[in-house]
Structure 1
């Protein structure tokens, strides 16, 4: 089945992890044996080749660069201008992959429809389509920079990531959006950029919903009902997103899938983290919605973790192909499964871009 993955940090991995994502996952792991600078060295699950093997022909791919204040415990850049420069380096990587025939940027309805047609054809070497998204808006030095980003193909934006941000408060922080956040949201709505509600803390989430009337999705977010942490959405937040005709991508980061995960100590085997838990999250959103129209896949499988923090029955991203059968066993029909694996996000884009 064709798969749409609503959240991958491809450029971050290519540049900050120095991974040549054109290579097989096995070769990337071999190259990283003995390296200890990142916890996921030698355990990565994502490459462009693995995506093709799993028929994951379309994704939301990020730019990401956080600004941090002096003495912040979070990693990040020491000025917004440095953060901007980092995102532009990531953009350059995507453009380089386009020049190499590996990827193609999807910016409008015409791009989308022609790309879907390509992936249903028998073409042997297909470029992977990507919709450019900015995870955390700290690198937007001022509103003019958002306009520049839109011209470069930016089509989705999350105002915050972890901690306090310039425009909103994110995971593990508490606070609202302020005037800067409101100004950003106004321009996002004006440009018809999709707002990504992922990572907004509760206060920023609800303040955003009060002032923003444009298109919104959540690229990679699970259910607080199953793991009680501020990173997940409460049922009330999920219902608000459903009311706004959003789609929520279920993530595969193990600490978001089971309670009491301890980073660096817990293991997928020890905590019995499997793809069935992803289906639990999918099912919970479907039950709240009363239909299968508001949930998809947003794996985050390359979000600074690898097999040490992924479902134990997933070796590479190609194993997303196991999810359709798990859904069928739960009683979902073929039409439902296709919506969850690709059509909900595709139809969302068709509506927003039409």
Structure 2
């Protein structure tokens, strides 16, 4: 039987609502409907669908809401007001709720629900019709037009927040930008700590990362973050930052975006086979965290597959998310024990959540 996999970062609702992908359908059908479309760089190259997740025994994930606010001087794509961003995030929430109502997915919000879902998958001989479990996370907090939105979101099942994404944000600056946390950002961290919402350190710029780690007393993870020592870029974390996270008990998910896996990737020009990026490079990132920690208890998977890129910017030997099963195969070949492999594929995330929720 294939190992159970917990993927800690998938932009499922973004793909459903903005990319107009019916993720309940077979992957090839989704690709076929996109033939000839050029509005997104990954059209026809998607890797994620619910059937493919079931095929790869990826029965649990952290699934996002994402909606960026952009000021008039911000060239990034996004919404022109926080209220519009909120509306977009609520449309994404409605899609998740529809998936739950249809039996395609199950929302996990507490330890009891997590244990019940794991038991369902572990005991099933056939997983092809099982609901995929998800923990709801918000990537970039711009859509909170008022601090009261945080508790509203929590009541709808939100259990993790990454304050920043790309560029300048209302609460924190992220990738390719730099500034301390705003006053609103510091207030957000206090509210998150009060509600026991997990802080996702992913995308925080260096100065905001340092400040957040000092101010926030709750549980911290990095859902999809790779190594700056392997691929130098401000999107990645340094070994010092990873070490600080490890000391806080964090789990760090390795992302599969090709430019984050190998150096000298030119976005929009490089191709996976030409560069030679493979799932071995994914395991290199996983192994790097294990070596820093001195154990396998802090490294995991946060694939970010179909995070505005597809097979054109994924490892060349990955056709769909089901190929995450190559990770445990490579780990075994490299001498990782069964216990280590189980930690990396799912147990680290589960242990983290039970520690955060069982109080």
Q: TM-score, normalised by structure 2?
A: 0.98
What's the CA shift for 1:133? 0.1
Equivalence for 2:166: 162
Equivalence for 1:40: 42
Q: Retained in 1: the 8 A contact 2:70–2:78?
A: yes
Pairwise mapping of residues 290-305 of structure 1 onto structure 2 (< 5 A)?
Answer: 290-305=294-309
Equivalence for 1:143: 147
Equivalence for 1:91: 93
What's the CA shift for 1:71? 3.0
Equivalence for 1:211: 215
Q: Take 1:57 and 1:163, find their aligned partners in 2: how far apart are those partners?
A: 32
What secondary structure sits across from 1:120 in the alignment?
helix
Equivalence for 1:54: 56
Equivalence for 2:321: 317
What secondary structure sits across from 1:84 in the alignment?
helix
Q: Take 2:125 and 2:270, find their aligned partners in 1: how far apart are those partners?
A: 43
Q: Take 1:320 and 1:283, find their aligned partners in 2: how far apart are those partners?
A: 15
Alignment partner of 1:64 out of 57, 63, 66: 66
Misfit runs of 4+, over 2 Å? none
Q: TM-score, normalised by structure 1?
A: 0.99
- Give a deviation string over 1:156-208, Cα, whole Å, max 9, x none: 00000000100011000011102111100001011000000000010100011
Q: Take 1:284 and 1:56, find their aligned partners in 2: how far apart are those partners?
A: 23
Alignment partner of 2:281 out of 277, 288, 312: 277
Q: Take 1:320 and 1:263, find their aligned partners in 2: how far apart are those partners?
A: 23
Q: Take 2:236 and 2:296, find their aligned partners in 1: how far apart are those partners?
A: 20
User: How many residues of Structure 1 are paired with residues of Structure 2 in the alignment?
Assistant: 354
Alignment partner of 1:347 out of 345, 351, 355: 351
Give the stretch that moved more between structures: 122-131 or 288-297: 122-131
Equivalence for 1:189: 193
User: Does residue 232 of the first structure (1) align with residue 236 of the second (2)?
Assistant: yes
- Give a deviation string over 1:13-56, Cα, whole Å, max 9, x none: 00111000011111111111111111100000000000000000
Equivalence for 2:178: 174
What's the CA shift for 1:123? 6.2
Equivalence for 1:198: 202
Equivalence for 1:79: 81
Alignment partner of 1:21 out of 16, 20, 23: 23
Q: Take 2:158 and 2:209, find their aligned partners in 1: how far apart are those partners?
A: 22
What secondary structure sits across from 1:169 in the alignment?
coil
Q: Take 1:61 and 1:216, find their aligned partners in 2: how far apart are those partners?
A: 17
Q: Retained in 1: the 8 A contact 2:170–2:182?
A: no
What secondary structure sits across from 2:123 in the alignment?
coil
- Give a deviation string over 1:313-353, Cα, whole Å, max 9, x none: 00000001111110011111011000000000000001000
Q: Take 1:297 and 1:70, find their aligned partners in 2: how far apart are those partners?
A: 36
Q: Retained in 1: the 8 A contact 2:111–2:357?
A: yes
Q: Take 2:187 and 2:350, find their aligned partners in 1: how far apart are those partners?
A: 28
CA RMSD of aligned residues (A): 0.7
Alignment partner of 1:337 out of 338, 341, 348: 341
Unaligned residue ranges in structure 1 (runs of 5+): none
Q: Take 1:122 and 1:165, find their aligned partners in 2: how far apart are those partners?
A: 43
